Amino acid sequence: GAVVSQHPSWVICKSGTSVKIECRSLDFQATTMFWYRQFPKQSLMLMATSNEGSKATYEQGVEKDKFLINHASLTLSTLTVTSAHPEDSSFYICSASPGTATGQYFGPGTRLTVT
């Protein structure tokens, strides 16, 4: 149980285009979903927290107009990287939580490469 999927697992896009990453909780309802970014040999950095039906809360330094997050249902959150640039190339990981005391379940991540 408690499986979280991400799609796609990797994507290559051209500079200036937008790309959408999906995060789904497959066997539970996620009241809260999180998006993290991981650079090579670095820790995961929290980008934003989203609750179903509410606007996402972004961490300091994360551009909300560039990284659009939608949490339209209790099983789906999407991250759209708009007008992507090479510096946006990274590993993006989502997690989902069914409640405050149960912790988070992580997806396998999406590798984004912007050329």
Partner 1 sequence: GNSVTQMEGPVTLSEEAFLTINCTYTATGYPSLFWYVQYPGEGLQLLLKATKADDKGSNKGFEATYRKETTSFHLEKGSVQVSDSAVYFCALSDSGGGADGLTFGKGTHLIIQP
- Residue showing tokens 């640039």: 85
Query: Binding to partner 1 by residue 54, rule CB under 8 A?
Result: no
Give buried/exposed letters for 10-27 (b at 16+ CB in 10 A, else e).
ebebeeeeebebbbbbee
Query: Binding to partner 1 by residue 106, rule CB under 8 A?
Result: yes
Query: What's the closest the beta carbon of residue 90 comes to partner 1, in angstroms?
Result: 15
Query: Binding to partner 1 by residue 87, rule CB under 8 A?
Result: no
98: preceding bond cis by omega (within 30 degrees) = no
Question: Per CB under 8 A, which of residues 30..49 are in contact with partner 1?
Answer: 32, 34, 36, 41-46, 49
* Amino acid letter, 94: C
How far apart (Å, rounded) are the C-alpha atoms in residues 31 and 52? Answer: 6
Query: What's the closest the beta carbon of residue 52 comes to partner 1, in angstroms?
Result: 13
Which residue, 56 or 84, is less far from partner 1 as judged by CB? 56
Determine phi and psi for 86, rounding to 5 degrees.
-55, -30
Q: Considering only the stretches 14-22, 68-76, 81-89, 106-114, report the one whose residues sit in contact with partner 1 under the rule CB under 8 A.
A: 106-114
Contacts with partner 1 by CB under 8 A lie at: 4, 32, 34, 36, 41-46, 49, 59, 93, 95, 97-109
